[in-house]
Amino acid sequence: MNPGFKFFLAVIVSLEISLTTSLPTNLIIIGVAVVYLLFNHVKIKNLLLTLLLPLVATTTIFATLYWFTPEPNLQNALCLASRIYVYTLTIYCVFIGTTTTEFARCFEQNFHLPSKFAYGILAALNLVPQMKQAIKKVQTAAMMRGVYLSFWSPTLYFKAILIALNSAENLAQAMESHGYVEDEPRTTIVAIPIKISDWIYSGIILLFVNLALLTFN
């Protein structure tokens, strides 16, 4: 499915779940999302970690609505708590098997995202590993002088800002040297079209979600 369609589909489903209280629908979406992730050969370790991380937030919501309220409602507490897993798993389904480059290209080609934002996001993400390596070099150089720069050290952040500014200038020059001109039409190396199947699958999924909300609400 088109990456943009998957993203907007997850947003629409999340909004509908937020506006209703249907525990069976939440459980159905969670179950379908888990099956989809397993079908896409996600690692069991990553899936278990995804299910474990929201547990604190889920437990907090459940405890607040059930244990610390004058009139506890078990179904309402479970419904609101299960929404956390709906949001987490649907977003995981959106990004599974799709790279950041594909998302940027999709939004630029299909949803008219300005190219400067698309390329800017990709450039920032691709610079992250280089920034980490540069910060390690700064810390190593400081340790050789007998100075320890901790994670919260202002000096380290100041040097990191200088490195980022220098990297941004080099990146801008590199893009200009490769022929990038802002607000000018550009050809596409890899086209990401919107297919009829994207509309069909999205419509079917929304239809089943709304039928479940009407049935179990």
Integer Cα distance of 54 and 192 in angstroms = 33
pLDDT over 70 (residue 184): no
Integer Cα distance of 160 and 120 in angstroms = 19
Residue 18: which of 79, 109, 95, 108 has the closest Cα? 79
> Looking at 13-17, 32-36, 115-119, 178-182, which range is the least confident one?
178-182
Supply 38's token pair: 């397993």
Q: Higher pLDDT residue, 175 or 63?
A: 63
Query: 84 — alpha (psi -120 to 50), left (phi > 0) or beta?
Result: alpha
The per-residue pLDDT for 29 is: 92
Integer Cα distance of 50 and 90 in angstroms = 11
Half-sphere exposure of 16 (CA within 13 A, CB side): 22
Task: Over range 128-139, report the average pLDDT.
Answer: 79
> Looking at 4-18, 43-57, 125-139, 193-207, which range is the least confident one?
125-139
- pLDDT tens-digit profile of 75-120? 888 888 899 999 999 999 988 888 888 888 888 888 888 777 777 7
181, containing H or E segment: none
- DSSP 8-state symbol, 70: S
- Give the predicted TM-score (pTM) of the model: 0.76
Integer Cα distance of 44 and 216 in angstroms = 31
Residue type, 122: L
Is residue 82 within 8 A of residue 26, CB to CB? The reply is yes
Confidence of residue 182 (pLDDT cuts 50, 70, 90): low
Is residue 174 within 8 A of residue 184, CB to CB? The reply is no
The per-residue pLDDT for 207 is: 93
The per-residue pLDDT for 33 is: 92
- pLDDT tens-digit profile of 202-215? 899 999 999 988 88
Integer Cα distance of 79 and 134 in angstroms = 46
Q: How many CB atoms lie within 10 A of CB 147?
A: 11
